[in-house]
Amino acid sequence: MRERVDGRFVRAPFSADAAWVGLAARISRRRFLGAAAATAFLAACSSGGSDGGEALAPPPSLSSDPFTLGVASGDPTDDGVVLWTRLAPDPLAGGGMPDEDVDVVWELGTDEDLKQTVAQGVASAIPELGHSVHVDASGLDADRPYWYRFRVGDFETPVARTRTMPAASASPGRMRMGQVSCQRFDPVFFVAYRDLAATEDLDLVVHCGDYIYEKSSVADDASGTSVRDDPLPEAIDLVGYRNRYALTKSDEHLLAAHAIAPWLVTWDDHEVENNYTSDSPEIGSETPGREEFLARRAAAYQAWWEHTPVRLDAPSGPDLRIYRPASFGDLARFLVLDTRQYRSPQVCGDTEAGLDVGPRCPESFEPEFTALGDEQEGWVADQLAGSDAIWNVIVQQVVMQQWRFAPGNTIWNLDQWDGYPAARDRFFETLRASGASNPVVLSGDVHSSWVGSLAADFDDPASEILATEFVATAISSEPSGALTAVTDVVLDNSPHIAWAETTKRGWMLHDVTRDAWRTNVRLVFDPTMEDSQVETESSWVVPAGGTLSEA
């Protein structure tokens, strides 16, 4: 098998993502695969593998680096993690790969120089799936870091770091996690990712959705601002969505953030189209018909899968179940939810630009008016009831807390859980009935930071508290001036919201122990400057068994 691969690897010259390489080089100080290591690796490869020594397909004659989109890892378990890359030498034009299957070599080891390789193999990157690669590296040790890289022909990725979760039976003392959302490419730089990628010892990054936007800031709103060019049209088909992922991944800080820790990713609306609900496009959609919208959704879901390190089978058609669990020993149980694919179409109207607000209608209170769909609701109930974790973390998309825009107001943000009040009541009843301890809801979507408690009765300051909610602001997407104008009113009329900041980009850093959940809200001073300062704007603590307060 080995004669197909040269014994000497020439490291590809990276240019566009030099800083990512710089970061990866700090993770792995050795930047070239040395001759001795190469020999050892070749020996390991030729004796390993379940295919009995079947030949590698000869690498295609690529004239430029196919690893322009970096690497990623995700969905870690206590014995495995999904390793991801996609071959795209011409990233903004469909990928630029020949129309053939390509063998991609991967290796994973226990040291940052990959001298101790513990797993390796060959994955087939096929044109039908955009030459993406999802390797489910399994049989690993629990609760430890690993390093990995990919290679095709003469081209090799830098070494990136990932880690496994502690065993289900383990009682880890701490966990450190980043929370991010909303990363439109053009408005400002991904300064928040620069900061996240420089953070030590992250065990996990959770993404609450809007990893891409279907169109640029300027295309969305003629007055939109951008610090960098988005040359792509609105995505409505598979190639269009692939190109938008590629554009987003041209940001070196995003690639650096993927290269330091495994991610747990869900989606929101912009991975398909703004404010879509199940099979309904937004008002004014480029794809207004149901059938054409479902074809668009199928393309968008496939492109999401192709670019996301998830342990899911490739989709076929417009449906893709992505709600799933994860566990960090008995310290934290994660439920990753999907509030887009199954939610009831917003029949109450969703018209007022800027805030997605309008009056609720009688349908909002019908039992079948759903945010999660019956199946997912049942799954959540089973998962919560069966959880012995200290912290039960709900990773989802849209704001769950109630926002009152005026005392006794009759308009609500219908795209948030406020638009699905009966479904929210059911979710709360499920939380209460499950007895799951210390629920924490992580949300995104609104391009602003919110910290608060989820109360059985949002209007009663003395109400029973059911959970804590942290809403992370956008990495880069535009804050809403309309929301900023009413933030004080919302705070005045929403006793369970502790704090909000509605003008800045950033992310949240969560340090979780058996006794307490501590959160630092990391906000960017000026995201139009790539080297902008990033600071902890406020800090919060939730004692296990207790409720939220400022730290």
* Residue 248 to residue 236: CA distance in whole angstroms: 16
Task: Write down the H helix ranges in 178-322.
Answer: 191-197, 217-220, 238-248, 252-258, 290-306
Size of the site for Ca ion (CB under 5 A): 4
Say what the alpha-carbon torsion angle 369, 370, 375, 381 is, to the nearest 10 degrees. Answer: -110
Using the minimum distance from each CB to Fe ion, give the nearer residue, 207 or 258. Answer: 207
- In whole angstroms, the minimum distance from the beta carbon of 443 to Ca ion comes to 10
Using the minimum distance from each CB to Fe ion, give the nearer residue, 33 or 182. Answer: 182
- In whole angstroms, the minimum distance from the beta carbon of 206 to Fe ion comes to 15
Residue 11 · residue 21 · CB < 8 Å: no
Q: How far is CA 208 from CA 97, 330, 441, in A?
A: 31, 23, 11
List binders of Ca ion among 255-284 (CB under 5 A).
268-269
Q: Confirm or reject binding of residue 478 to Fe ion (CB under 5 A).
A: no
Buried b (16+ CB within 10 A) or exposed e, 279-314: ebbbeebbbeeeeebbbbbbbbbbbbbbbbbbbeee
Choose the stretch contacting Fe ion; rule: CB under 5 A; options: 126-134, 180-188, 275-283, 504-512: 180-188
Residue 477 contacts which entry, Fe ion, Ca ion, none (Cβ below 5-8 A, type-dependent): Fe ion
Residue 107: its H or E element: strand 102-109
- In whole angstroms, the minimum distance from the beta carbon of 398 to Ca ion comes to 7
* Residue 152 to residue 85: CA distance in whole angstroms: 11
Using the minimum distance from each CB to Ca ion, give the nearer residue, 327 or 477. Answer: 477
Residue 329 · residue 172 · CB < 8 Å: yes
Angle at 133 between CA 127 and CA 137, to 5 degrees: 155
Residue 165 contacts which entry, Fe ion, Ca ion, none (Cβ below 5-8 A, type-dependent): none
- In whole angstroms, the minimum distance from the beta carbon of 184 to Fe ion comes to 7
Measured in residues, the chain has a length of: 551
* Residue 57 to residue 33: CA distance in whole angstroms: 21
- In whole angstroms, the minimum distance from the beta carbon of 178 to Fe ion comes to 17
- Answer for which of 97, 137, 152, 182 binds Fe ion (CB under 5 A) is 182
Using the minimum distance from each CB to Fe ion, give the nearer residue, 75 or 214. Answer: 214
Using the minimum distance from each CB to Ca ion, give the nearer residue, 156 or 269. Answer: 269
List binders of Ca ion among 185-244 (CB under 5 A).
210
Residue 269 contacts which entry, Fe ion, Ca ion, none (Cβ below 5-8 A, type-dependent): Ca ion
- In whole angstroms, the minimum distance from the beta carbon of 292 to Ca ion comes to 22
Q: Confirm or reject binding of residue 418 to Ca ion (CB under 5 A).
A: no
Residue 166 · residue 19 · CB < 8 Å: no
**Secondary structure (3-state) at 41:** helix
Q: Confirm or reject binding of residue 210 to Fe ion (CB under 5 A).
A: yes
- Answer for which of 438, 477, 480, 487 binds Fe ion (CB under 5 A) is 477
- In whole angstroms, the minimum distance from the beta carbon of 345 to Ca ion comes to 16
Q: Confirm or reject binding of residue 443 to Fe ion (CB under 5 A).
A: no
Q: Confirm or reject binding of residue 446 to Fe ion (CB under 5 A).
A: no
Given the rule CB under 5 A, which residues bind Fe ion?
182, 210, 477
